[in-house]
Chain A
């Protein structure tokens, strides 16, 4: 795919993020900024999940646990070694990557179904370990994170600043995800998604690349965990148990995992929809369930892909992105 062509998928995302960065000028409420920060932190993990699910075609049902590895790594190195925010970003990324490799090696060598179950079990296991970790993990009540966050002497603990920092991290994740999608590596992952048997016959080491994709998605999750820990200032095991994992999977499915706008749309929708419709937690869970069923039945490649397909059908034109099967699936 020519670079100019592939840039067209990145540009709308970057333009949107620039617009989001201007939002503080409208003096939004703290409540709004907090919601937006949580959404953005999720979107970072979703960009990793989109490499795994959208490109490679494997789904993790325990991704919040990898976010948790990142968050706990940040909290523990801050407490025990006085390591601050910035250094804990690479540390958390590496820890989450290592843990992803440890789960991936035994479970991805077998098959996709095993993997879904293994990741789910890992999510449960992690919250059991964290809950029973005594003082080291803070048990059920969790850990506080006290280190201040600053950039070039500017305090990031001001809500608006933290918001802008999260928007920048979202932009970086989108660019990283875009770079992966348009690289030789991304093509390799798509080949595996499309046909494992054929991919192997062309010399591709399918098992190793699946593990690699899970590790890459783990790095995104780990980084997102650090941002979460420093935003909330307190983390506990329940935040990384099975429900948050299912939510992440749901967001990536609703938004669509293959197009670059998908994770952004999924993360924002799931964070803001209950707020907009004024729903309580139970109602919003029901709404998510209904949304998920609707998306799976009507728009199998997610909301964004569905809108793009509708757009091109309406104007009777061919889509610009040759590697996106959304339109074809829609047409059948």
Chain B
């Protein structure tokens, strides 16, 4: 169980706004790590800087010992890191099947015993088999999120970054999602997940990192972090 992803001193400024003020974070092989923090604390920016959507202002991202800092998004995907966006995304003008087909066709990663190598198996896994001929644009929001998950999985990642995967889902859909994500580690896929839903985070994550104003203020076993006075202060009157 070594560090898969090792982020050091990651900094991102947008004009005068410091979205990330030097964050250190590691994701270990086989774990589901949670990242929480108030709105605007830099969680999405952290993911964007790792996945090549943004170039970090300073700091390094290393992946299995290889430097990934500032490389383009498609190269990050090819290195084995998948990303589902906070705004659920799919190719809305294309059919559900074609969406997943495109993603599988571009997969260049090889992961031993990966169970979802075909569009059909991916759609079955996320429960969208019956909708494969529908246009992605007509899917209700929850289904669109599941399609986004299937697209990310299709790249056969070793690490998947989920940005608020349960936002906008109803209770039943959230339960389905938890059930799906829980299976990832046993197939060799580590997970790093952002969400505001603490119940969901407690179910999924053994370890939690907390961001506030672009800095990491806590990192450790979920129960400890949730009782940390610094964290309680940040969330005073909030979700906890």
Tally chain B residues at the interface, Cβ within 8 Å.
35
**A198 and B138 form a contact (CB under 8 A):** no
One digit per residue, 1 when the CB lies within 8 angstroms of any chain B CB and 0 when it does not, for chain A 192-208 equals 01110111111111100
Whether A202 pairs with B135 at a CB distance below 8 angstroms is no
- Which residues of chain B (58-84) have a CB below 8 Å from chain A? 72-74, 77-78, 82-83
B78 to chain A: which residues have CB within 8 Å? 203
By secondary structure, the B interface counts as: mixed
A195-B89, A328-B137 given as contacts; is B74 within 8 A of A205 (CB)? yes
Answer yes or no: A323 CB below 8 A from chain B CBs.
yes
Interface residues of B in 150-193 (CB under 8 A from A): 151-152, 154-155
Shortest B96–chain A CB gap in Å is 9
Tell me if A322 is interfacial: C-beta within 8 Å of chain B.
Answer: yes
Tell me, yes or no, whether B92 is within 8 Å of chain A by CB: yes
> Is A203's CB under 8 angstroms from B77's CB?
yes
- A325's partner among B103, B135, B155 (CB-CB below 8 A) is B135
Counting CB contacts under 8 A, is A161 at the interface? no
Known: A195-B89, A201-B83, A322-B133. A187 touches B74 (CB 8 A): no
Whether A317 sits at the interface, judged by CB under 8 Å, is: no
Chain B's closest residue to A205 (CB) is: B74
Q: Is A191 an interface residue (CB 8 A)?
A: yes
Determine which of A187, A194, A202, A205 lies in contact with B155 in the assembled complex, contact meaning CB atoms within 8 Å: A202
Q: Are the C-beta atoms of B53 and A322 separated by less than 8 Å? A: no
Q: Answer whether residue B124 sits at the interface, using C-beta atoms and an 8 A cutoff.
A: no
- Partner among A195, A197, A198, A323 whose Cβ is within 8 Å of the Cβ of B98: A323
Q: Which residue of chain A lies nearest to B104 when distances are taken between CB atoms in the complex?
A: A202
Cα distance A187–B154 in the bound complex, in angstroms:
15
Which of B85, B93, B101, B107 contacts A203, CB < 8 Å? B107
In the bound complex, do residue B77 and residue A325 qualify as a contact, i.e. CB atoms below 8 Å apart?
no
* Residue of B85, B92, B97, B103 touching A197 (CB-CB under 8 A): B85
When distances are taken between beta carbons in the complex, the residues of chain A under 8 Å from B222 are none
- Measured between C-beta atoms, what is the minimum distance from A21 to chain B in Å? 34
Find chain B residues with CB under 8 A from A197 CB: 53, 73, 85, 89
Q: A200-B73, A328-B135 are in contact. Are A190 and B85 (CB under 8 A)?
A: no
CA–CA, A323 and B133, complex, Å: 10
Residues of A within 8 A of B82 (CB): 201
Q: Is the CB of A190 within 8 A of B91?
A: yes
Residues on A with C-beta less than 8 A from B129 are: none
User: CB-CB < 8 A to B93: which residues of A?
Assistant: 190, 193-194, 323, 325, 328
Closest approach, in angstroms, between the C-beta of B169 and any C-beta of chain A? 19
What is the distance, in angstroms, from A202's C-beta to the closest C-beta of chain B? 5
The chain A residue sitting closest to B151, CB to CB, is: A202
Any A CB within 8 A of the CB of B102: yes
**Further contacts, 16 of them, CB under 8 A, given A194-B92, A200-B72:** A188-B105, A188-B106, A190-B94, A193-B93, A195-B90, A197-B85, A198-B90, A198-B151, A201-B83, A201-B152, A203-B74, A203-B108, A205-B72, A322-B97, A322-B98, A325-B137
Among all A-B residue pairs, the 6 with the closest Cβ atoms? A194-B91, A200-B73, A203-B77, A325-B93, A322-B95, A203-B106
